[in-house]
Amino acid sequence: MNIAIHLHKDKKEPVYIQLYHYFKQEILTGKIEAGTKLPSIRYLASFLHISKNTVIDAYQQLWMEGYVESKEKSGYTVVALPSYEYTAQQQKKVVAKSPETGTNACIDFHYGDIDGVNFPLNGWKKTIKAVMEDNQTHWMKYGNKQGELALREELVGYLYRSRGIQTTADNLVITAGTEHLIHLVLSLMEDKSLFIGMEEPGYDGVRNVFMERGIPIQSIPVLEEDGHDLSALLNSACNLTYVTPSHQFPIGKIMPIGKRIELLKWAERRDGYILEDDYDSEFRFQGAPIPSMKAIDQQDRVIYLGTFSKAFLPSLRISYMILPDVLLEKWKEKRRPDSQASSPLLQQALASFIHNGDFERHIKRMRKVYERKYVFLVQCIKEYMGEQVQVIGEKAGLHLLIRIPNKEDRFLEEAERIGIKIYTTESYYTEKKDRYPFLLGFGGLDEKEIKEGIQRLARALFT
């Protein structure tokens, strides 16, 4: 195999990421064919004058995303991917800038809570104060209906750096909450007879929006071992689908590149769209963050949904989406007299926070904080519950699932009795099951609370 790569060891981008990007591009463009065995770790490290760990990290990232498979003592081999028209560089658009729960539980494993201790409170307060002093009247108004231009422009750069997405401020729409975004998207498709594909299990907040509008839903099974089963969707009459491919909610599986390509081809074939909810993509604890589907979308079929509720602050109520050009034009035509749902003051402050680098420094710090909590929670489960509990989910996000064989029927009752708040996943399923896994959120808990909570649950259930 000819290897034509020049590594820039003086760049901020880690060398293993550069190596991973090189192989990914060669595989996607067909320059490295299916069945090709990648160079051995020892050989490539020697050839490129880098450490073996650097090569291992790059190969592991390719394996996790489904580009290669690994067999014991036989190295890494490129897998066969569905054919898909892929260009190494997405064409960058050039668009002129527009003018201007209450609970009494002692320990609550609630999903969605963030770590308040490590929140950059002083920096955030200074940023808000500066915006109020520098722009004394603009933030008092209703705000731009599409979202503050300053924030949309900062999001363009952030999404490219963090998710590999190339877009424009003109394609971004900002509002308050994911459900509000879904309502906006559906309003742009009122001329279509919609049939929606939805993950099973999946986020009930979004499913409820579809159900309230009377839109038929085709389930997309998400298996604990194999992830998304797309067969029912691909053979259905659906023309819109909602997925969480980088960290499926609530199961936690990652959709590999082969299935992502199948889904993109389906959208093109059906003249449909994919709603990609990237709700907590910042927090992946093994390897690099998984690239978004939007980053490889060549036909403008992905509607990308993002939020700051997990990455920064739930009370901000700032969510955003990237609209494909066709839907953007519809949005501009249908623009209603509603005011901006998300605070212009907070949008401007967030734009400044991103611009100054404070937001990405916060993400980098919190990734380490949440990784430490995740590892500690898993250790506590193993130490105090042992083999009696199965942990479900990838090393990412702010929650995990546990399955307790033969104990589910009394788990919630016992937990409540001893002052521990835990959550069933029943509301995320539409099909009735005998037993459901339980969701443990850990973002808002410290290590002492995590340990005490698991210890008390273990004593109540297994002694």
**pLDDT tens digits, one per residue of 394-412:** 788 899 999 887 666 677 8
- Going by pLDDT thresholds of 50, 70 and 90, the confidence category of residue 95 is very low
Domain limits, the chain: 15-78, 136-358, 361-462
pLDDT > 80? residue 286: no
∠ CA 138-140-145, nearest 5°, is 75
∠ CA 445-307-19, nearest 5°, is 90
Distances (CA, A) of 460 to 64, 376, 454, 455: 37, 20, 10, 9
| Span 15-78 CATH architecture | Orthogonal Bundle (1.10)
User: Is the CATH number of domain 361-462 3.40.50.150?
Assistant: no
Q: Which of 437, 435, 459 is nearest to 380 (CA)?
A: 459
Q: What distance in Å separates the CA atoms of residue 167 and residue 323, rounded to the nearest whole number? A: 9
Q: What distance in Å separates the CA atoms of residue 288 and residue 254, rounded to the nearest whole number? A: 13
Cα dihedral sign, 185-190-192-198: positive
What pTM was computed for the model? 0.85
Span 27-72, pLDDT tens digits: 888 888 888 998 888 888 888 888 888 888 888 888 888 888 888 7
Tokens 């005998």 correspond to what residue? 434
pLDDT at 103: 43
Span 317-369, pLDDT tens digits: 999 999 999 999 999 887 655 668 889 999 999 999 999 999 999 999 999 99
Assigned fold of 136-358: Aspartate Aminotransferase; domain 2 (3.40.640)
- Phi-psi group of 91: left, alpha or beta (phi > 0 → left; psi -120 to 50 → alpha; rest → beta): beta
- Going by pLDDT thresholds of 50, 70 and 90, the confidence category of residue 100 is very low
pLDDT at 338: 60
